[in-house]
Amino acid sequence: MTPAASGALALAAQVRAGERSAASVLEESLAAIRGRDPELHCFNALADAHARERADEVDRLVASGTDPGPLAGVPVALKDNICTRSAPTTCSSRILAGWTPPYDATVVSRLAAAGAVVVGKTNLDEFAMGSSTENSATGPTRNPWDTGRVPGGSSGGSAAAVAAGMVPVALGSDTGGSIRQPAALCGVVGVKPTYGVVSRYGLVAFASSLDQIGPLATTVAEAAAVLEAIAGHDDRDSTSLEQAAPRCSEVLDDGARGLRVGVVADFLADASPDCTGAVRAAADVLAGHGASVEEVALPELLHGLSAYYLIAPAEASSNLARYDGVRYGLRVDAPDVETMNGRTRAAGFGPEVKRRVMLGTYVLSAGYYDAYYAQAQRVRTLVARAFARAYAGVDVLLAPTTPSVAFPLGSKTSDPLEMYLADLFTIPSNLAGHPAMSVPFALGEGGMPVGVQVLAPALGERAMFRAAAVVESGADPRARGPVPARGAR
Amino acid sequence: MSGQLSTEEVAHIARLARLEITEEESATYAGQLSAILEHVDAVRRLDTAGVPPTSHAFELRNVLRADEPRPCLERDEVLAGAPRAEDGRFLVPRILGEEP
Amino acid sequence: MSGGARAGEDAAIEGVAGYEVVVGLEVHCELSTATKLFCGCANAFGAPPNTQVCPVCLGLPGSLPVLNRRAVELAMRIGSALHCEIRPSTFHRKNYFYPDMPKDYQISQYDEPVNADGYLELPGGARVGIERAHIEEDTGKTTHVGGGGRIHDADHSLVDYNRAGVPLVEIVSRPDIRGAEQARSYVSELRAVLVATGASDGRMEEGSLRVDANVSVRREGSEGLGTRCEVKNLNSLRSLGRAIDFEAERQVAVLRSGGRVVQETRHWDEDEGRTSSMRSKEEANDYRYFAEPDLVPLVPDEELLERATRAMPVLPAARRVRLSALVGDDTAADQVTTVVDLGLDDLVVAAAALGADASLALRRAANEAAQRPEQARRIDAGVFARLLSLESAGTLSATQSKAVLAEVLESGGDPEEIARRLGFEALPAAELEAVLDEVVASHPAEWERYVGGDDKVAQLLTGLVMRATRGRANGKAVAAALASRRA
Ligand SMILES: [Zn+2]
């Protein structure tokens, strides 16, 4: 049995009780990675030496009668845009190849404080820009359900590692759907918390006003436990909210009685029948558990995609300026510093990153700012207002996570716009700063998993997890990872 | 403004973004960026009169820290990732432009 | 000073006739905080390169800024001292590539600065408008190696980020300054305000205070502004004045020859005594400002404002007003300015309160005490007042009083005792009369003229008495004795 199959909570309970050693759990996880990663390429780097030290430390604490924390001995994979002293942080970019940060992200310290063991860094679309994990300088990650298909992105490595049973839980980052979309495509749970609930300190910025770290796990309960470990105020992040971590584990058995659920009607028309069907079936499950369900019209949300593809590149163009060959990472030599900057960035960034940096530079430049960037920010206000209108009448919203199940590798790489549409349903929550999560629910086209998205207003994590637990209880158990190895079909 | 970018405009943007691109790339990006801009053009036509822009998800105010020192990095760590360093400093080739 | 520079200055004086020189100044002031603007690294000058840096001020991927409360308070303190409106403000990113800037953008305030619309009152009463005084972060320091240290001729450059992220307030004046002299006066007055408020140490030579000048010229009497040039690299008050004179002269020469002044940035060369175009190959800057998503807005709530203005000292302009009012009609403005600049006004005010003659106190402070300001700031107001009273009463002559003051400044002590020790016993009236007899007897012609009503000769006679008494006589007493004898 792989660690993921046991489940993070069961593993932690066993380690805390002294029934299993953290060291043995870690070795099991490393063995699973060695077994399947050559085929799937979920990991950019392993932190195995450091992980073994950490696991031994956890075991020593248990032996000395000290509780190592709620995630004692749980192996965790981190998306490779989260800074770690123990392993290089590359963002799957040539420009940061081999760079090891001299500091740990806040979430890394919090995981350690909870007793978790970081095993390695997972693949992503370069600087988290993409929806398939194909835009990676280290090569694409494959979907463990069907290795001919993408795992989604940009947290594709984390989603696939959990789905393949290499680790029970992982962290990703979500700027426009980068946790939820790969979670849905890989049949795992993925959570984007309220903006400001999890510290961004140490998360390599893509679009600072939208980025948020969150967990991926096989079950809603495990995701809640990891969120509780990493969330809460951090004085190193000015946008961190004062609130303590939301206690979501408490509400998982509360059921749906009295819960008011809205189904986002506008999204159903744009999704494939299997995705639409899953949302309707999930709504029925909630109604069956005593929730009131209604359809809500939120046409403004569909404008979110366009606003996002102006705002995110604009912020990215500035965030990625620092990769200039002066202080760290790649340098391509040249006789003067200006040429050195230009050649380094040309050689170090992949095509999608360059495209977005150029787009962002353009929309911020003199003469275009008001027409594009300022206007996109006004549309962002419209999206938030539409949500506010909906949440006046309902506690949570239900929507498809993605327009379709996982698509074949290479099928969308030639057309950037086609790829961008994969985030249509996830983007509005980022623009509003709201929490949202994807729960695996059914099998769709080609036997691939289909996720259902639960959305909630700011700091509505408890209502969101309550609804998600009920949806999960009515889901097809075959739709959930980990999946046994079965290769391309 | 039709949302159609010329290769000259793309070259200008690339210079602002400090990206050395070939003429061929310039043409490719002109096409791709134009297509994206055309798609997002719907946003420009939306009536947003009187709608304030949102730059931050939430309206936090006055997030301040005390003026108290925290430890700095060791210089070895600072220069560990440097492509080139000399005398404890980062070495860069000749600078052509003036500081603005 | 080289001959060439002198010639340039002379030419400038004649060369701008018929034109008015219009100057606006941008002053960057480093704040006296313990730590940097967005991180906990020490804000201190002179540490070995790259030893006062952390992930935040190095701009490492994943790092985030958190605003220093003290920097905000000091910025608001500056705003308050410059009579600005202290407003809700936001931070923006100013995007441009330069190796001394770790993130390749500078966090600054753009369209919503913390302080706006104030003024600085100069000695003499002129007011220079302050457009804005906003918070921003400093850059690192670049050293050019090879090619004589000049940037474009260098073989390569070395970057030290210790200064990166040090808190700055940029104070932008309106184009209200007329000429080099007033520009110098503005900067020294601003410096005094910054030091008095505790916002900055004001050291130009260490770069705590950096000045850029926007210079333009226009025909005398015309209202509109001419095309301006921004002059950089002004490292002292002296170079500020010289650079403005040179630049104004250059622009007037361009206009006189029928040319047009081109708006550009020009570099002041202190050795050559001239400005030159930077001739940057870069395209026009496009900073792509946008709201800094990593920082939240700043709102001057009651607590911030209270802390910013707490224990605000009386500022130079108000101190000059106080001193002038005390001394009255015969106030010499330059003496008031000197005394306030040297921080001796409190001594004058205190001595006057103890009964000393205010006008005499101002004169002695501005002329004699000002020679040794350090010591003068430490002398007891009671001692100063007693000394001045001795002089006013005629017990000590002016010469004697100055000598006693010098001794008080040098080693302290009681004025009466020092006077006694120096042999400055007041000249007994009988002795003075005897000396007068001798003088009248030895200079009969002069005495006749004096008796005949020629007052000009009184000075000569007084001088003769003073010489005969070796300065022990009091001038007023001699004058009185002469007058009574004539009557
Ligand atoms: Zn620092």
Taking the CA of residue A465 and the nearest CA in chain B, the distance in Å comes to: 21
CA–CA gap between residue C446 and residue A443 (Å, rounded): 128
> Looking at per-residue confidence, does C284 or C453 come out higher?
C453
Please report residues of A whose CB lies closer than 8 A to that of B93: 333-337, 340
How far, in Å, from the CA of C196 to the mean position of ligand 1?
28
What phi and psi values does residue C322 have, to the nearest 5 degrees? -60, -45
Sorting pLDDT into bands at 50, 70 and 90, what band is C269? very high
Asked if B91 is an interface residue toward chain A (Cβ–Cβ < 8 A), one would say no
With 60 as the cut, is the pLDDT of residue C3 above it?
no
- Establish whether this prediction's ipTM goes over 0.95: yes
| pLDDT over threshold 50, residue A274 | yes
**Residue-level pLDDT at C461:** 87
- On the question of pLDDT at B4 being above 90, the answer is no
Contact check, Cβ <8 Å, B92/A326: yes
Give the H or E element holding residue C135.
strand C127-137
Closest CA to A456 of A403, A388, A385, A363: A388
pLDDT of residue C464: 86
Chain A residues with CB under 8 Å of C64 CB are: 200-201, 236-238
- Residue-wise pLDDT for A225-263, tens only, equals 999 999 999 999 999 999 999 999 999 999 999 999 999
Name the closest residue on chain A to residue B62, using Cα atoms.
A238
Q: Is A452:A439 a contact under the CB 8 Å cutoff?
A: yes
Does residue A284 register a pLDDT over 80?
Answer: yes
Nearest CA in chain C to A84: C62
Confidence of residue A170 (pLDDT cuts 50, 70, 90): very high
Q: Which of B63, B70, B98 sits opposite C280 (nearest CB)?
A: B98
Residues of B in contact with A433 (CB under 8 A): 57-58
The answer to whether C265 faces chain B, any CB pair under 8 Å, is yes
For position C248, what pLDDT does the model report?
96
Residue with the bigger pLDDT between A485 and C217: it is C217
Q: For C112-266, where are the alpha helices, taking DSSP H only? A: 179-196, 237-256
Please tell me which of the candidates B55, B59, B94 has its beta carbon nearest to residue C293: B55
* In contact, A188 and A245? CB cutoff 8 Å: no
From A98's Cα to the closest Cα of chain C, the distance in A is 14
Is pLDDT above 50 for C6? no
Does the structure show a pLDDT above 70 at B28? yes
Sign, CA torsion C7/C13/C19/C20: positive
| CB-facing half-sphere around the CA of B92: CA atoms within 13 A | 30
Which pLDDT does position C361 carry in this prediction? 93
pLDDT of residue C30 exceeding 80, the answer is yes
pLDDT band at C280 (very low <50, low <70, confident <90, very high): low
Per-chain mean pLDDT for chain A: 96
Kindly indicate whether the domain formed by A3-251+470-479 is annotated with CATH number 3.90.1300.10: yes
DSSP string computed for C376-440: HHHS-HHHHHHHHHHHHTTSS-HHHHHHHHHHHHHH---HHHHHHHTT-PPPPHHHHHHHHHHHH
Nearest-by-Cβ selection for B75 from C51, C69, C98: C51
Nearest residue to A162 (alpha-carbon basis) of A219, A110, A246, A81: A219
Q: What is the pLDDT of residue C398?
A: 86
Asked if residue A329 has pLDDT above 90, the reply is: yes
Check whether C475 has a pLDDT greater than 80.
Answer: no
Paired tokens of A181:
């979309």
Q: Which two tokens stand for residue C90?
A: 């936001």
pLDDT-derived band at C284 (thresholds 50, 70, 90) equals low
Which chains would you list as touching B if contact means 3+ CB atom pairs under 8 Å?
A, C
The pLDDT of A359-369, averaged and rounded, is 94
Q: What is the pLDDT of residue A485?
A: 64
Domains and CATH numbers, chain C: 3-310 (no CATH), 316-421 (no CATH), 429-486 (1.10.10)
Residue C143 neighbours by CB under 8 Å, 6+ apart: B89, C149, C157, C158, C159, C160
What the block records as the tokens of C254 is 């361009």
Show which of residues 37-76 on chain B sit within 8 Å of chain A, judged by CB atoms: 37, 39-44, 46, 48, 51-58, 60, 63, 65, 73
Write the single-letter amino acid at A173.
S
Best C28, C91, C107, C156 member to test B by mutation, with max B CBs in 10 Å, is C156
* Better-predicted residue by pLDDT, A1 or A359: A359
How many other β-carbons are positioned within 10 Å of the β-carbon of residue C345?
22
Interval C152-198: pLDDT, tens: 778 999 999 999 999 999 999 999 999 999 999 999 999 999 999 99
Query: What are the φ and ψ backbone dihedral angles of C396, each rounded to 5 degrees?
Result: -115, 140
More confident residue, C414 or C167: C167
Annotated catalytic, A178? yes
Amino acid in the structure at residue C40: G
For residue C228, the Cα-to-chain-centroid distance in whole angstroms is 25
pLDDT recorded at residue C334: 86
Given pLDDT bands bounded at 50, 70 and 90, which one contains residue C4?
very low
- Among A421, A460, A396, A8, smallest CA distance to A195 is for A460
Confidence of residue C9 (pLDDT cuts 50, 70, 90): very low
Q: What is the pLDDT of residues A16-25, one digit of tens each?
A: 999 999 999 9
Task: Take residue B93 and report the two structure tokens written for it.
Answer: 């080739």
- Matching residue, tokens 């690339």: B14
Q: What is the pLDDT of residue C10?
A: 44
Interface size A-B, in CB pairs within 8 Å, comes to 171
Residue C417, both tokens: 């005792």
- Of C74, C70, C176, nearest in space to C118 by CA: C176
The token pair at A455 is 């959305």
Q: Is the pLDDT of residue C397 over 90?
A: no
Distance from CA of C47 to the nearest CA of A (A): 20
Question: Tell me, what's the pLDDT at C14?
Answer: 57
User: Is the sign of the CA dihedral A77, A79, A85, A87 positive or negative?
Assistant: positive
CB of B97 closer than 8 Å to CB of C265: no
Query: What percent of chain C clears pLDDT 90, i.e. is strictly above it?
Result: 61
Average pLDDT over residues A404-425: 93
| A404 in catalytic set | no
Contacts of C296 in chain B (CB under 8 A): 56, 60-63
Interface test with C, best of A236, A430, A431 (most C CBs within 10 A): A236
pLDDT of residue C112: 97
Integer-rounded Cα Rg, in Å, for chain C is: 29
Q: Which of C212, C135, C219, C122 is nearest to C176 (CA)?
A: C122
Q: In this predicted structure, what is the pLDDT of residue A6?
A: 74
* Position A486 confidence tier, pLDDT thresholds 50, 70, 90: low
Contacts of B15 in chain A (CB under 8 A): 342
Residue A223, both tokens: 């995701």
Match 């991926």 to its residue by tokens. Answer: A216
Asked if the Cβ–Cβ distance from C95 to A364 is below 8 Å, we say: yes
Residue A296, phi then psi, degrees to nearest 5: -125, 145
> Which one is catalytic: A131, A173, A178, A404?
A178
Bond preceding residue A484 cis, omega within 30 of 0: no
Neighbours of C467 (CB within 10 A): 12
Assess contact for C61 and A101: CB atoms under 8 A.
yes
User: Identity (one letter) of the amino acid at C44?
Assistant: A
Chain B, chain C: beta-carbon pairs less than 8 Å apart: 142
Peptide bond into A86 cis (omega under 30): no
More confident residue, C233 or B3: C233
pLDDT at A410: 96
CA A47 to centroid of ligand 1, rounded, Å: 27
How many CA atoms lie within 13 Å of A271's alpha carbon, on the beta-carbon side?
Answer: 32
Does the structure show a pLDDT above 50 at C5? no
Concatenated DSSP letters of A213-262: EEEEESSHHHHHHHHHHHBS--TT-TT--SSPPP--GGGTTS-STT-EEE
| Active-site choice (A21, A136, A154, A438) | A154
Q: Inform me whether the pLDDT recorded for A488 exceeds 80.
A: no
pLDDT for the residue C328: 83
Whether A138 and A110 have beta carbons less than 8 Å apart is answered as: no
Mean pLDDT (whole number) for C16-27: 96
Q: Do B78 and C50 touch (CB under 8 A)?
A: yes
Say how many Å lie between the CA of residue C57 and the centre of ligand 1: 4
- Contact status of B80 with chain C (Cβ, < 8 Å): no
Range scoring the smallest mean pLDDT among A294-298, A472-476, B40-44: B40-44
Q: Do A315 and C103 touch (CB under 8 A)?
A: no
CATH 3.90.1300.10 range(s) for chain A read: 3-251+470-479
- Does the CB of A82 have a partner CB in chain C at under 8 Å? yes
Neighboring chain A residues of C99 at a CB cutoff of 8 Å: 324, 326, 337
Chain A residue with CA closest to C282: the answer is: A338
Closest CA to C179 of C26, C24, C27, C23: C23
Nearest CA to A349 out of A74, A67, A127 is that of A127
Contacts with C95 from chain A: Cβ below 8 Å: 317-318, 321, 364
Q: Check CB contact under 8 Å for A365 and C294.
A: no
DSSP symbol at C272? T
Residue among C255, B72, B78 at smallest CA distance from A327:
B78
Dist CA C416 CA C397 (whole Å): 13
Q: Give every CB contact of residue C435 below 8 A, 6+ residues apart in sequence.
A: C465, C468, C469, C473
User: For the residues A169-178, what does the mean pLDDT come to?
Assistant: 98
Using CA atoms, how far apart are residues A279 and A401, in angstroms rounded to an integer? 9
Note the pLDDT of residue C341: 86
Instruction: Name B3's bridge partners.
Output: none
C344 Cβ contact partners less than 8 Å away, ≥ 6 residues apart: C365, C366, C369, C370, C373, C376, C377
Residue C417 is predicted with a pLDDT of: 87
pLDDT at A282: 98
C140 CB-near residues (< 8 Å, 6+ apart)? C100, C101, C102, C159, C160, C161, C162, C163, C164
Cβ separation C95–A318 shorter than 8 A: yes
Higher per-residue pLDDT: A77 or C455: A77
Average confidence (pLDDT) over C442-467: 87
* Residues of chain A above pLDDT 70, percent: 98
Q: Decide if pLDDT at C313 tops 60.
A: yes
Taking residues A372-393, report their average pLDDT: 97
Where is pLDDT greater, at A84 or C10?
A84
Confidence at residue C283, expressed as pLDDT on a 0 to 100 scale: 53
List, in order of start, the domains of chain B with CATH numbers: 7-44 (1.10.20)
